[in-house]
A and B are shown apart, each in its own frame.
Chain A
Amino acid sequence: MTDMDALPDEIMTITASRILDNGKVMFAGIGQPLLAAALARRRQAPDLTVILEGGMVGIQLEPGQFPASTNEMRAAVGAEMITNASDIFMMAQRGLFDYGFLGVAQIDAYGNVNTSIIGDPKQPDVRLPGPGGGNDIISMCNETLIVTNHEPRRFVEKVDFVTSPGYLSGGTARADAGLIFGGPSWVVTDLALMDFDPKSHRMRLHSLQSGVSIEQVQVATGFELLVPEQVPTLAPVTIEELKQLRVLTGHGADA
């Protein structure tokens, strides 16, 4: 097995997992966020505390036993604490959670996320599931990672509907709207890692996935990305990382 075998989803999960520091607290969702957390806990961050919106604190993440919902027995058994679902978000509002983690249907140049409506909100073409905990997470966690496939239909200049606010129209708009904490910090995709310009808060290319060019990233982005003079390439996914991830998903032999 070489890094060439890694699927796009696996590359994103592994890239996100590398960002997570030991001793931090992460508000996770089902799927990729939980996998990234579990991988980080098996590598550089054994003391990463994982939170779920059902009120679970310090959940266990057993290979092949990942929950299908943030509110089910598989997510709760073995937790260090379970509180109620409003309390868990109020802890985020208090500033106790370091990382939030979101997926998106659409994201725009200022990190605003849409998981509600495609088309005109008054007469939607597509009604999506809604925010779930996403609006609270990106409004309240100390920083938020966004993980998504890199496609032009997802990366748009302006989202059709701001379900979960990033930096709104950029500059000081987020703080002006009353969101004085947090915001999107990283956007992790199968092609690149992006962050946001500290002043304009427009999305900025930070580094490239192995074997990907700046042109490829720009073609897959439906708006003009800020591109700094130096754009490093991320370390390729290692065989060890891939093996560990596949044990967690139940698609590899337990090492």
Chain B
Amino acid sequence: MTSMTKPADAVRARQVLEAASAGPSHKLMTAADAVRRFVEDDFVVAVGGTNHARTPMALLWEILRQGRTGLSLSRPLTCYESELFIAHGAADRVITSWVGIGHGWGLAKVLREYVEQGRATYEEWSHLGLGLRYKAGAMGMPFLPTLSMMGSDLATTLGVRTTECPYTGQTLQAMPSLNPDVALIHVQRADIHGNAQIDGYELMDADVARAAQRLIISAEEIVPTESFRRDPSRTLIPGFAVDAVVEQPFGSYPHECYGRYDSDHEAFSDYVEEVRSGGSQGARSYVDSVLDAHPDFESYLGSIGEHRLKELRELAEGMMPK
């Protein structure tokens, strides 16, 4: 049975937040520093974006590089980043509604093998179920009522309970809050204080940012705060919720970043091919080869080459509404 990770205690989550001293207002730092300071072993790590959209790859690779273990990853739909963590021994639990490489690349074979052998846990929620866990966490409330997951084996397996509306008596699923220990969110632009804007689809990231106990933002570009003042309704994440800001162009590569670059489908295929020929050992070798060859994400991007990155940028720019 896959019971859920302990439901967040909303009162405790707030106390921890209140007790944390306010850091410096200038939060720009390297990915290495951000991960060193804010990501610890055994954390629940909320991964921003979903599937192959705005995955915080630079931050994720840095966590792998620094050798954290015992992590749980939460994300509405997971792509192969969860497999990299499972195969490398960094994580042993995925909290999600879907695992796969994406349509056209088939099932997530490594995760599937680990779960089937009982070596990793797939904590399986509905899509909105996880969304409401974040939202409750973001609201400072212990649960939210919903119709999601009612009557399903998802609810019984996890031990999600029902509650009764005190006014009408309607039976509802009570979705427990989630306050991830740390969240990683990649955005198109941020300022040095952590104010951040997301273009295209926010997905669940505004809630993730508010729910998390610590928050690392990576951004395609760092902009002056003045540019936010001109269009403040587009700012989704307030700087005071942010602990670290990392400037990282192509920070989601090989996944996509709306308006900036398309996914590199060839890179997906390279990974899938490693797994096809070598199974989970193939996935492990894939992670090791990247970590051995590259001291940081910039070096990794260098190996992809400017020409390829430019192509992906042009593909995205070509798709934007004229």
Contacts and interface: CB of A to CB of B under 8 A. Distances in A.
A133 interface: yes
Given A73-B258, A179-B150, 7 more contacts: A71-B50, A82-B200, A84-B207, A86-B134, A126-B116, A131-B97, A135-B148
Interface in B20-48: none
Contacts of A93: 128, 146-148
B220 interface: no
Contact of B100 (A31, A89, A122, A129): A129
B132 interface: yes
Interface string A19-56: 00000000000110000000000000000000001111
Interface in B233-280: 256, 258-259, 262-263, 265
Contacts of B203: 54-55, 71, 84-85
Given A74-B319, A179-B150, A86 B131 contact: yes
Given A77-B321, A89-B127, A71 B77 contact: yes
A77 B262 CA distance: 13
B108 A129 contact: yes
Given A74-B319, A85-B131, A55 B151 contact: no
A76 B171 CA distance: 36
B153 interface: yes
A162 B151 contact: yes
Interface string A127-157: 1111111011001100000000000000000
SS of A interface (majority):
loop
B112 interface: yes
21 contacts: A30-B103, A55-B201, A71-B49, A71-B50, A71-B51, A71-B52, A73-B200, A82-B200, A85-B76, A85-B204, A86-B135, A127-B122, A130-B99, A131-B97, A131-B98, A131-B124, A135-B126, A135-B129, A162-B153, A178-B147, A178-B170
Contacts of A136: 126-129, 148
Interface residues of B, number: 66
Given A77-B321, A85-B203, A127-B112, A135 B127 contact: yes
B128 A90 contact: yes
A201 B116 CA distance: 33
B153 A124 contact: no
Interface in B80-121: 96-100, 102-104, 107-108, 111-112, 115-116, 118
A125 B128 CA distance: 27
A167 B4 CA distance: 26
A132 B77 contact: yes
B53 A54 contact: yes
